[in-house]
Amino acid sequence: MAERPLDVIHKSLDKDVLVLLKRGGEFRGKLIGYDIHLNVVLADADYIQDGEVVKSYGKIVLRGDNVLAISPVEIE
């Protein structure tokens, strides 16, 4: 049986993810929560633009309307 999209996101809880935004830019941080609308809560989040960290946040909520993709990452 195929996995549902939210099942895949659920496996990324408490792990580092990269969230791509529809208008460009991306956030990297630890996924600590989400809902069915893809509203996402990240801890220790960094806003990245053109491959460079622009600003660091402690905890942030990203509205699902702005989320293009969520991908697991490994922090080096």
pLDDT 10s digits, 6-29:
888 999 999 999 999 998 899 999
In this structure, the strands spanning 67-72 and 26-34 are unpaired
d(CA 13, CA 34): 9
Class of domain 5-66: mainly beta
pLDDT band at 76 (very low <50, low <70, confident <90, very high): low
Does residue 3 surpass a pLDDT of 90? no
Enter the pTM of the model.
Answer: 0.87
pLDDT 10s digits, 46-66:
999 988 999 999 999 999 999
